[in-house]
Chain A
Amino acid sequence: MMSLISVDNLTKRYGRRTGVVGLDFNVPAGAMFGFLGPNGAGKTTTIRVLLGFLRPTGGKAGVFGLNTWRDSARIKAEVGYVPGDLRFYPWLTCKSALKIFGQVRGRDLMPAGAELSQDFDLDPDVRVRSMSRGMRQKLGLILALVHEPRLLVLDEPTASLDPLMQKKLYDHLRSLVSAGHTVFFSSHTLSEVEQLCDHVVILREGKLVADETLENLRARARRDVTIVWQDSVKLDAVTVPGFIDVYERHNRQWSASLTGSATELIRWGAQQPIEDLTIGQPDLARLFEQYYE
């Protein structure tokens, strides 16, 4: 599949401070791509390089096969962007923004904008100075979505949205991706990336620590196992098999992580005096914590 974003050995330094070092990843067209990392990991730096706000110190970054620094204006014609720290002019309304943005983009954004503002429940005549943080976030999303960009870059876009609006946004993103658009979704919240994305890149301290599909990550993530022993069992005599890692023993209930396969566990469990055996979903959170630590 063709890469929409290609990052090749990208390094960005701010004087002595390092933003990102030696990043390498590709975002295929039509993907919902998660970009994860704790605060200060270098996610925003990478996004600012991709949009041509920052010049790489080393390496290369390309979008649509164009150089992000040299061809920034051309790239942005087909990009929608919601910054993490979203600020607008206090005098701006959704309507005036659509008019100005439409003039700059050379197309009438009013009809699509009106539809989106209705969808996101935003009054198009309210000035930014009177908007709550959530309303400003909605305005940012409308302006990023309205021209149906080929690539949508979102830097922690759900921070100020209520759950209902988050769901609406997720629906929009899913329909964009199903129509062949690409979403680059930066977040430090695992749950939303897990819900939405099919591929993730994880950064820590400016370095790439994982670049995998969610499916692969899930396969690698350990499952939680709960075993409840029958009353007759002498727990001291039980031999713990190698494919589980018991981390808590509470009376007759053990909590463990499955390090081997579920089949092995079931086969072993069938021969034990067990009252109950539960195998949980793959615990991605624990896996991510390992990356973050």
Chain B
Amino acid sequence: MRGLIAKTLRETRFTIILLVLSLGAMEMLLAYILPMFIGEEYGQWLKVKFIRQFVTVMLGTEVGQSISPRMIAAIAWVHMMVLAIVFSQAIAFCTRVPAGEVDRGTVDCLLALPVSRKKLYLCESLVWLLAGMLTVLIGLAGNAIGGRGAPEEMKMTWRQSLIVITNLYCLYLAVGGITWLVSSLSDRRGRAVGVVLAIVLGSFFLNFISQFWNPAKSLAFLGVLNYYRPLMILRNGAWPVADISTLVGVGGVAWLFGGIIFARRDIRTT
């Protein structure tokens, strides 16, 4: 187990660190800049229906017609770049095995070792879980550092922070779990990345059009972004148990099926 984890870390450390630092820096920047947007003059933008709908999609809940400090604070956790970094971490990591290994032909070298595929999958998954944890924690640290000078009403309590990053981590688990499943079904990493990106973008698109188009509202529950709502957390301070359970459930089931498929499938490199 130690050797496999060492190999995985050796292979992924640069990408993990790069994305972790990117999220930390992004959060720091957002937490520093966003307080500047509190004020009536910026609130006018929300009177434009399209912009209000767009912000609603991003925040995952109705925003009303004025900008509140909480809303601004929540944007730091739903910004496109933040989500892109978190999704990249999950997708880049989880498409490596087996799709990436089969694609580049190194799977023969890996599977020639006396380890079962289940053990290999578990070792890889362990590093994936830790990488995600590190990512959201560094994101939180960046947010705390960047937001030191923010007004008091914008600052999140530790409890709120914990709930928000837990929700974000669960989103990472859901996207990662789906990625494991797709990766297990594929022999080409590029194809696996493409499929997962299509799923993630589809989820965003579904969320987006459900704001304008009623028939799409009934399908909005299918998108993973529907279960990530930091503004709700900042407003009511409660644990979004249903959202978290759904994300963990989706991620867990997809991960489990990914593991079963990987353990049972043929491995061919030619």
Contacts and interface: CB of A to CB of B under 8 A. Distances in A.
Contacts of A105: 3, 113-114
A75 B115 CA distance: 10
Interface in B247-270: 264, 266-270
B159 interface: no
A73 B6 contact: no
A96 B10 contact: yes
Contact of B113 (A14, A76, A140): A76
A104 interface: yes
Interface stretch (B16-24, B102-110, B177-185): B102-110
Contact of B11 (A53, A85, A91, A99): A91
Contacts of A76: 111-115
A86 B104 CA distance: 10
Contacts of A100: 3, 6-7, 10
Contacts of A44: 270
Nearest to B108: A83
Given A48-B268, A104-B113, 18 more contacts: A14-B268, A51-B112, A73-B115, A75-B114, A76-B111, A76-B112, A76-B114, A83-B108, A85-B270, A87-B104, A87-B105, A87-B106, A87-B109, A89-B11, A91-B11, A101-B113, A104-B3, A140-B109
B108 A55 contact: no
A37 to B, nearest CB: 15
B3 A54 contact: no
B214 interface: no
Interface in A70-91: 72-77, 79, 81, 83, 85-89, 91
Contact of A51 (B105, B111, B268): B111
Contacts of A91: 10-11
A102 interface: yes
A48 B107 CA distance: 12
A77 B113 CA distance: 7
Interface residues of B, number: 25
Given A73-B119, A103-B6, A89 B106 contact: yes
Contact of A72 (B11, B116, B264, B270): B116
Nearest to A54: B266
A55 B114 contact: no
B187 to A, nearest CB: 12
Contacts of B145: none
Contacts of B3: 100-105
Interface string A32-76: 000000000000100010011111000000000000000011111
B49 interface: no
Contacts of A14: 266, 268
Interface in B1-15: 2-4, 6-7, 10-11
Interface in A233-259: none
Contacts of A72: 116
A104 B109 CA distance: 13
B103 to A, nearest CB: 10
- A-B interface, 9 closest residue pairs, ranked by CB to CB distance from nearest: A103-B3, A87-B105, A104-B3, A77-B114, A83-B108, A73-B116, A76-B114, A81-B112, A53-B267
Contacts of B114: 73-77, 104-105
Interface string A123-156: 0000000000000000010011000000000000
Nearest to B266: A54
B270 A53 contact: no
Contacts of B270: 44, 85
B112 A83 contact: yes
A87 B103 CA distance: 11
B7 A88 contact: no
Contact of A55 (B4, B10, B11, B266): B266
Contacts of B267: 48, 53-54
B106 A88 contact: yes
A77 B267 CA distance: 19
B189 to A, nearest CB: 14
